[in-house]
Amino acid sequence: MGLASFARTVVTTVIGIVSLNLFVLGAASSGALVLPVGKKKKQARLQAQSELWDLSTQPLPGFHHKFFEAADGVNLHYVEGGDTSPSAPLVIFIHGFPDSWFVWHHQLSAPAIQQKAHLIAVDLPGYGGSDAFPRATATAILTSLASFIISQKEKKTCESCILVTHDWGSIVGFRLASEVGFLFTRCIILNALHPSLALENMTRATSSASRMLQTYVRNPTNFALIRSAFRSMKPLLTQLKCSYYVSVFLLPLPLARQLYKMGDFWFLRVLSKISKFSNEEVYLASSFGPSKSEADGYPASILARDNVNKRADDKIAYYRDNLALGKWKKPENIQLIAAASDTNSGFTGLLEQKEGSFKCPVTIVYGARDTAFHRRFCFEGLEEYLLPSKGKIGKSYLVCFPRSGHWPMVPSPGRESVDMLIESELEGIDGEDMKEKVWAVDKDVKFEIEK
């Protein structure tokens, strides 16, 4: 380990320990560490788990539980409904931390979307009812989900496929849109940063600040250089402040688990309030996945996840195993499909593209009240990554929901705006007509970038 790497580890560990102690104080002040879980709450949680995860019942009206065997025998759980005919366009939803397929229940239940599309919401590996990989590496997670999407598309005569993602699902969505974007007619990506763009902005900020500080050493009376270095670093420092909770998940596992499980899942209950879920116990049940009572028919590993440590480890692995920036070693079948797609599109490889550039139209959404992201750091320079549109359709956008936080698809008016984005794509509406549909439910939505 080099000196710089060692220093980063020490700083991250110190910040993680301080942050964990702050969370412990927050849980203690709320009484979560000492108050017992009431019998009524336990029963409500178990009832909700039964309704959401029992394979013998419909998780939502018109929806059914399904499984897909991905790479290395890992089984992905998903729910399926809407117009499942081969000719119907496909809409695939991927959730984030600490959720499951159920976080999309508003969109899945929207009649206008149900009637127009084949709807699928999949549990990420290690979440909900899906198996976990030993490590949540880029190759494991991206290969399993890409294979899943390809298998669903092979059942269709309709070429249209829309990917809708949130949080860690959106990190996956950014990578799929940039590496196998030919699979999608559009990706609608909610509340996440694009790993390649974030890395570029971080590198630019630190390099600029470093040059200024080196110059300052030679000119120690020029304090303007110090101020300029700070201005260069400010967006990165602000983002690090917004993401401080991540440092807890990077601590040694016995400590990293504590934030997830302490005080009868105090942290999850806080997230339930932030997300504005209507029922806290249903939110917990949707995050937990099947209990022992519902585990029959699920992969055998789901029983192991009844252990809270195992459940925590599977979820926080996404923060620990470099999924965001790790190299994706694509299997041969995906490489062949990608090569065939490049050939059919006329791409010769002679045009140099920025690494991480999108290969399909994207609509990137963020909530102005999302405290986990700093707008300037996350999206400065985004235009360079967007696929140029062809005429009036196939445009890409950066969209701000002014009254939404980190879960824009849950409370109004964000959820109706998300619905309108999906409906517009299903109807082939783009540009000003699409904006009018969104503004009809929230006139304050801002389309900040359009290309």
Tell me the mean pLDDT in the region 244-263: 95
pLDDT (average), residues 240-247: 93
pLDDT attached to residue 391 = 73
What's residue 4's pLDDT? 61
Residue 104 has pLDDT above 90, yes or no: yes
Closest C-alpha among 417, 292, 330 to residue 367 = 417
Kindly report, residue by residue over 77-100, the tens digit of the pLDDT.
999 999 999 999 999 999 999 999
Indicate whether 21 pLDDT > 80: yes
pLDDT in tens, 111-166: 999 999 999 999 999 999 999 999 999 999 999 999 999 999 999 999 999 999 99
- pLDDT score for 94: 98
pLDDT of residue 346: 53
pLDDT, mean of residues 241-255: 95
**Nearest residue to 408 (alpha-carbon basis) of 451, 384, 441:** 441
**CA nearest 93: which of 449, 388, 421, 372?**
421
Q: Is the pLDDT of residue 300 over 90?
A: no
Q: Given pLDDT bands bounded at 50, 70 and 90, which one contains residue 352?
A: low
Domains of the chain as residue ranges with CATH:
86-126+139-197+331-450 (3.40.50.1820), 198-242 (no CATH)
- What does the pLDDT read at residue 350? 43
User: How confident is the prediction for the chain on average, in pLDDT?
Assistant: 93
Specify which residues 64 forms β-bridges with: 80
Q: What's the pLDDT score for residue 2?
A: 65
pLDDT digits (tens, 9 = 90+) for 49-60: 999 999 999 999
C-alpha 266/C-alpha 308 separation (Å) is 14
Q: Is the pLDDT of residue 351 over 60?
A: no
Percent of the residues in the chain that have a pLDDT greater than 70, as a whole number: 97
Q: Specify whether the CB–CB gap between 164 and 120 falls below 8 A.
A: no
Q: What is the pTM of this model?
A: 0.95
Between residues 395 and 340, the one the model is more confident about? 395
Q: Sort strands 75-82 and 186-190 into parallel, antiparallel or unpaired.
A: unpaired
pLDDT score, position 344: 66
Half-sphere exposure of 242 (CA within 13 A, CB side): 19
Instruction: Report helix angle 138-154 to 168-179, nearest 10.
Output: 70
Q: What is the pLDDT of residues 382-415, one digit of tens each?
A: 999 999 987 777 999 999 999 999 999 999 999 9
Per-residue confidence (pLDDT) for residue 343, from 0 to 100 = 67
pLDDT range class, residue 37, cuts 50, 70, 90: confident
